[in-house]
Amino acid sequence: MTRHFLNLSDAGGDAIAVMLADAMDRKAVRTGWTKGKADSDAPLAGHTLGMIFEKNSTRTRTSFEMAMKQLGGDSIFMASGQMQLGRGESIADTARVLSRYVDAIMIRTDDHAKIEELAKYASVPVINGLTNLSHPCQIVADLLTIAEQGKALPGLEVAWLGDGNNVLNSIVEAAGIFKFNVRIAVPQGYESDSLFITAAQAAGATITLTRDAAEAVAGADVVVTDTWVSMGQDHAHDKIAAMMPYQVNERLMAGAKPDAKFLHCLPAHRGEEVTDAVLDGPQSIIWDEAENRLHGQKSILLWCFGLLA
Ligand code: CP
Ligand code: NVA
């Protein structure tokens, strides 16, 4: 069976736990000036990841490229607009052709249906590097970042503020898998996908929906937000106005537990969804979170190649 990673549930809780442990082990031996150094076991030597980007990226592209390099493999960056995909070649044909060249495909696309189509026709693993629906690789890094803080996932209280977007969907999915709770405060009209919420609730997570930012944050262990305007969306004035009560600032953070941490997948829009004081403040662990994209990608790749769990 080809191991695709379109959502967290493709791997499941046991495999993700193994992935997190492996990511921590690999990270632990990287001390000092080891950024460019290969992992000593080079488990992906001779393997190449093809990466298709329909949208911009700093973290996902760089961390996957570095992950492949450090695991002894290689990667190819493909901007979809410069591929025949950008002038009408079908996803199915692209999947069939790329499967003859590369050993796995990562895609960042505006439409989740496209990644499902790609996975259907690819004979190599397909990895979700963000779609309109979900961002599972980000959440692997987030779970790693939370675990590094010594916080147990079961029973964790996570507060989400702002837009009900792709990142939130994957957090909610993770909540169902690891039995933590998410309190979601988003303005009317910007709610997240109810299918993810229903599935997480059925799996035993408590997902609370509120319009009150302070209520969502009260007693939280982790406070999370993301841009109010995701890639491909309009920077509409009325949306920004509706989001303002959900800005994560020092006053709001003060309602969380004293040792609460702040997460943001980045890029941040400083002064919109979060203030400088929070982003750069003592509770923020965003740079660890960004670094953990690298360690997380390695474990995702190794799982997809059948080398983990
Ligand atoms: N968080 C994240 O996916 O960042 P990029 O858009 O820079 O890849
Ligand atoms: N929700 C954001 C995440 C960016 C990493 C977007 O889709 O643009």
Ligand 1 pocket: which of 266, 289, 300 to mutate (most atoms within 8 A of CB): 266
23: Cβ contacts below 8 Å, ≥ 6 apart: 140, 144, 292, 295, 296, 298, 299
Verify that 172 and 87 share a domain, yes or no. Answer: no
Same domain, 83 and 203: no
In a domain, 141, yes or no: no
Does 223 share its domain with 122?
no
Residue 28: inside a domain: yes
The mean per-residue pLDDT over the stretch 235-263 comes to 97
Number of domains comprising the chain: 2
Do 158 and 96 belong to one domain? no
Residues in the chain: 309
Of 265, 283, 295, 304, which residue is the catalytic one? 265
- Averaged pLDDT for residues 147-153: 97
Mark whether 283 is an active-site residue. Answer: no
Average pLDDT over residues 248-275: 98
Q: Is residue 143 part of a domain?
A: no
Tell me, yes or no, whether 250 lies in a domain: yes
Determine, yes or no, domain membership for 1.
no
Q: Are residues 104 and 222 in the same domain?
A: no
Q: How far is the CA of 61 from the centre of ligand 1 (A)?
A: 8
| 36 belongs to a structural domain | yes
C-alpha 265 – ligand 1 centre gap (Å):
7
Supply the pLDDT for residue 208: 98
| Under 8 Å between Cβ of 5 and 281 | no
172 and 111 together in one domain: no
Can you give the CATH number for the domain in which 257 is found?
A: 3.40.50.1370
Q: What would the DSSP string read from start to end of 31-69?
A: -SS-TTPPPTT-TTTT-EEEEEESS--SHHHHHHHHHHH
For residues 129 and 12, state if they share a domain. yes
Asked, for residue 144, whether it belongs to a domain, the answer is no
- Residue 245 reports pLDDT greater than 90: yes
Domain that holds residue 219: 150-284
User: Do the domain assignments include residue 280?
Assistant: yes
- The per-residue pLDDT for range 37-56, each reduced to its tens digit, is 899 999 999 999 999 999 99
**What predicted TM-score, i.e. pTM, was given to this entire model?**
0.98
